[in-house]
Amino acid sequence: MFSTRHVFVFLTLFISSFLSPSVNANVALSKFRIFFDSQSRTDSLQLRNTGSSDLKYSAELVLNAMTEDGTIYSVSEDSLSAQKFIRFSPKRGTIKPGERQALRFSLRKPANLENGEYRAVLRLVTELAPTEGGNVNLASKLAYNVPIIVRHGEVSVVSRLETPTTVMHNGQPHIQVWQTRSGNRSVFGNFIVETLEGEELGVINNVAVYRPLERRKVLIPLTKTVKGPVIIRYTENKKFGGDTELSIAHTIN
């Protein structure tokens, strides 16, 4: 169990689940996820200052976990942590308007590391320089959490879609479906709801089910109101080492 004090509440953007490479509060990130397969040892993330003021940043590695409804919360320990064998720099600095800064990552995996997937999170805090008069508005300081996935040796996963239902969420119809996961790696991919004729009714992208979680509830917003049989399709993101494709039938009443 976890307490509410563990939940990220500091204007955090959960980039792993919701954003493509993004521009927010005068900073652009070149990627939303850092991935090491068994052969890779280095990677980098670029920050670009898109504003007109100096941009300060600081970065650290932290740990988090996921609940069955997809909520991310912070933890102090994790048996599957990659925190100890990830090195990166620089950890803080100032970026001039229009300029870029690359954060460079490297792996130093311990000997006899068990096959599987390990994870950490890059917590990146950005802050604009004060405006004239020393004022800083709330939007000038944001925190980004970028998942870092490390896979070592042979990895495998089995995933299924189960128990689809139609529900109302925040006043909008959604398809709710459970995605299960077993094996020594996570899954990360995209959902689409279609009619039997292939008409798109709803999409949600970049959905993760992190090890060791065994299942996660997924809510897919429907952009069109229809009734009758539909297909829910899932495709894992190949860019991040996945090839799982799933589907399940559902009837919207």
Confidence of residue 48 (pLDDT cuts 50, 70, 90): very high
What is the H or E stretch that residue 15 is in? helix 15-18
3-state secondary structure of 196: coil
Query: Is the distance from CB of 176 to CB of 219 less than 8 angstroms?
Result: yes
- 239 membership: H or E segment, kind and range: none
At 129 the pLDDT is 72
Handedness of CA 235, 106, 143, 117 (dihedral sign): positive
The pLDDT confidence band at residue 15, using thresholds 50, 70 and 90, is: very low
- Contact between 210 and 188 (Cβ < 8 Å): no
What are the residues whose beta carbons fall under 8 Å from the beta carbon of 143, sequence distance 6 or more? Answer: 8, 10, 11, 12, 13, 123, 124, 125, 126
**DSSP secondary structure letter of residue 171:** T
pLDDT exceeds 70 at position 131: no
The residue that leads in pLDDT, 51 or 19, is 51
Residue 42 has a pLDDT of 96
Mean pLDDT for 19-35 is 73
Q: What mean pLDDT value characterizes the chain?
A: 88
* Residue 61: partners with Cβ closer than 8 Å, 6 or more residues away: 83, 86, 88, 120, 121, 122, 123, 148
CA-closest candidate to residue 72, choices 170, 216, 169, 168: 216
Query: If you average pLDDT over residues 92-113, what whole number do you get?
Result: 95
Under the banding of pLDDT at 50, 70 and 90, the label for residue 135 is low
Task: Kindly report which listed range (31-40, 133-142, 239-248) carries the lowest average pLDDT score.
Answer: 133-142
Is 70 exceeded by the pLDDT of residue 193?
yes
Q: How confident is the model at residue 23 (pLDDT cuts 50, 70, 90)?
A: very low
Q: Hey, what's the torsion of the CAs at 127, 3, 16, 175, to 10 degrees?
A: -130
Tell me which residue of 131, 134, 146, 115 sits closest to 208, measured CA to CA.
146
Please state, in angstroms and rounded to a whole number, the distance separating the CA atoms of residues 46 and 33: 12
| CA–CA gap between residue 45 and residue 148 (Å, rounded) | 11
At 11 the pLDDT is 34
pLDDT at 150: 97
The predicted model gives 161-184 an average pLDDT of 97
In this predicted structure, what is the pLDDT of residue 128?
A: 83
Average pLDDT over residues 43-55: 93
Q: How confident is the model at residue 141 (pLDDT cuts 50, 70, 90)?
A: confident
